Amino acid sequence: MAAYEATIKWQRGADEAFTDQRYSRRHRWLFDGGAEVIASSSPHSVRVPFSDPAAVDPEEALVAALSSCHMLFFLWFAARRGFCIASYNDKAVGEMTRGPDGKEWMSRVTLKPEVVFDGGKRPTEADVSELHHLSHEACYIANSVKSEILIEATAQGLEA
């Protein structure tokens, strides 16, 4: 099986005492292909200026990873069935809640993919529903979390 790596780098600022908890949570994610992402704690968890609202926080990254994984499988399954996709857009939403044990967790992620099909062979609504089901079942990230994952999909360019 494959292994995946990410390097996370943070350094305390010269003017930050740290133990007073007044330090920047801004840090970097470095990936093997050379991509670098500026990350931070969520401003919902740690107030600005100690969080960077322009950076990606781990909670957003989890939602994006679920959405991206689902999309990649959807594109693959659609292509294998001969359906051509012009565009795929998802405005996914993750919801944090407090469990009975008092711990906060990402309890639900709702994917809202909007798929536009074109080309000669068009899917039916049933085909699109099956593609989403297959994609959800195959998604590595969805198979790795306990969060409820809902799919509220729309599609254009279907078979008449």
CB atoms closer than 10 angstroms to residue 45? 15
Dist. CA 107–CA 23, nearest whole Å:
29
Domains 1-56 and 58-156 share a fold: yes
Domain ranges of the chain: 1-56, 58-156
Query: What is the tens place of the pLDDT at every residue in 36-60?
Result: 999 999 999 999 999 999 999 999 9
Condensed to tens digits (0 to 9), the pLDDT of residues 133-154 reads: 999 999 999 999 999 999 999 9
Q: How many CB atoms are located within 10 Å of the residue 25 CB?
A: 18
> Which parts of the chain have pLDDT scores under 70?
none
CATH superfamily of domain region 58-156: K homology (KH) domain (3.30.300.20)
43: DSSP letter: T
Phi, psi for residue 127 in degrees, rounded to 5: -60, -45
CATH of region 1-56: 3.30.300.20
Instruction: Enter the tokens of residue 109.
Output: 């992620």
